[in-house]
Structure formats: structure tokens, C-alpha cells
Amino acid sequence: MQITSQTALITGSSGGIGRAIAIKLTQEGVKNIGIHYYARRDEAEKTLAQVKEVGGDGVLIQGDTADAERMKTIVEEGAQKLGGCDIFVQCAVSSLSRIYEHALATEVPLEKWQLGFDSQARAFFVGAPLAAKHMRSGGRILALSYNAGATTGGWQPWVGMGSAKAALESMCRYFAVALARDGITVNAVSPLSSDTGTLFGQFPVEGQQAVKEWASAGWAPMRRLATPADIANTCALLCSEEASFITGQTIIVDGGSSLMNPDFPLALQLPK
């Protein structure tokens, strides 16, 4: 795998999946990382320290990606400090308390539904084209999605984020066509729940345990949840020269869980 890009701006890289992506891209040769955070500067500094430990460098950029004007500034400030923006990864997500309401989809407050769109779909609509202006041919744009939430309706409280992720994946396809002539690829990466992800870690302990038991029972054929490293590895692959002809796709990283049939009992699908 060969990554020739020298600069990367990763929103939401103060911890979890974003931090793993920053470290992995550095290990694969990206020299300068824009580490974005909203409130946790101390955690962003930890990411920067780990990036330096593996031979890279970086800058810190603060801001709320749900604010459209601030999102513009995040990208422009990042590109200026980095001296360009060869890779742009949207990974930021609001805290659980800001976006989550334990209710039916028809009862979720408008402000929480709106925040899902503002922090995901609108942030990408604003940020990705701006980042592309600072890219050379061969630039890479990635958006972290959650395909299960975008294509199903069972997780009712997720209606705002799920709808926003569906819009995000759709935009990747539109932007992929628009930027293809410039040699820039645009893809979405859609992981299964990450057991050390920033958002997952905010759920009640009993909820986290239930999801882990669901995976280990076989609904995730590899018997585990995703790790930040699984997701970061996929992002690195899509940023490589070898992936230069892959664009407009949603790459699902779920250990095969989306292949299981919800209409049949698990015992009939995985006989012992």
C-alpha cells in the first residue's frame, strides 16, 4: 500500500476512530495531520503526541462542525496551517446528549433531528468542496457513515442521525462525479459499532454489553464488534494509490453482520 499524500485534515480526531485514522495515515507516510476537536483540547493533544510518536507532525484546529460558517473556517484554517489538504476525512459527531432522544422517530425533538443534519450532512456539504480546492490531483475525501442506520428504521431514536447519514452517503456519490475529472475520489466508510468508539462509549454500560453479546452470539459472523483500527485500516486503503479508481462507494466494515438474515433464527443460519 502506497500513500503519497502529505497532508490530511480529520474532523473529530481528538479520540476514538478519528484518532486511529490520524495515527494510521501517519504510519503510512502522511507527514502532517490536522487534528480537529470541539471541546476536548487535552484529548486532541494526546492524538498529536501519538502522531509524533510514529514519525509525523500536526496542528490542532478547534470548532463546531454543526456551525456552517465555522465549518468553513475549520477547513480553511486547517489547509493554511498544513500547507494544503491532500486528504479530508469527516469523522466528527456530536456528543450523545446533544443528538440522542430515547423516543419513537415521530417524537424526536426537531432540534435533535436538525443537529444530526447540521453536524453530518451539512458539514460535509460545506467542508468537502472547500477541502477539494486545496487538493492536488489524487486527493481523497472520506466520510464516516453508519449504513445500517441510514438504510433501516428499527433504531427509532436514530432518525436524525440515520437520515443525515443517508444524505451523507448520497452526497459522496454526487461529489464523486463532480470531482472525478480532478483525480479526487470521494467515498464513505460505514463501520459496525466500535466497542471503543467515542459515541458507543457514551451509551449505558448495559446497552454496550448487549451489543457485544449480540455480536459474539454470531449476528456478527466474526463474533466481535469493529475496532478503531479496523476502520482506520479501511480509510488508509482508500487513501492509497492502489485505490485511485474507487470512488462514490460506501464501504461497509462490519465483519459480515450485514450478510445475516434477520428473518431467520440465528440457529438456522449458523448450525453447530
| Mean pLDDT of the region 38-54 | 97
Per-residue pLDDT tens digits for 176-195: 999 999 999 999 999 987 76
pTM over 0.75: yes
Q: Is the dihedral of CA 135, 137, 138, 140 positive or negative?
A: positive
Asked whether the predicted pLDDT for residue 198 surpasses 70, the reply is: no
Dihedral angle of Cα 237, 240, 242, 246, to the nearest 10 degrees: 70
Is the CB of residue 79 less than 8 Å from the CB of residue 131? yes
Split at pLDDT 50, 70, 90, the class of 201 is: low
Nearest by Cα to 176 from 82, 229, 243: 243
Q: Which residues are CB-neighbours of 29 under 8 A, at least 6 positions away?
A: 2, 3, 4, 5
Per-residue pLDDT tens digits for 227-261: 999 999 999 999 999 999 999 999 999 999 999 99
Percent of the chain with pLDDT over 70: 97
**Ordered structural domains, the chain, with CATH:** 7-191+226-253 (3.40.50.720)
Is the CB of residue 69 less than 8 Å from the CB of residue 62? no
pLDDT at 196: 61
Mean pLDDT score of the chain, rounded to an integer? 93
| Mean pLDDT of the region 158-172 | 95
Per-residue pLDDT tens digits for 147-162: 888 889 988 999 999 9
Split at pLDDT 50, 70, 90, the class of 79 is: very high
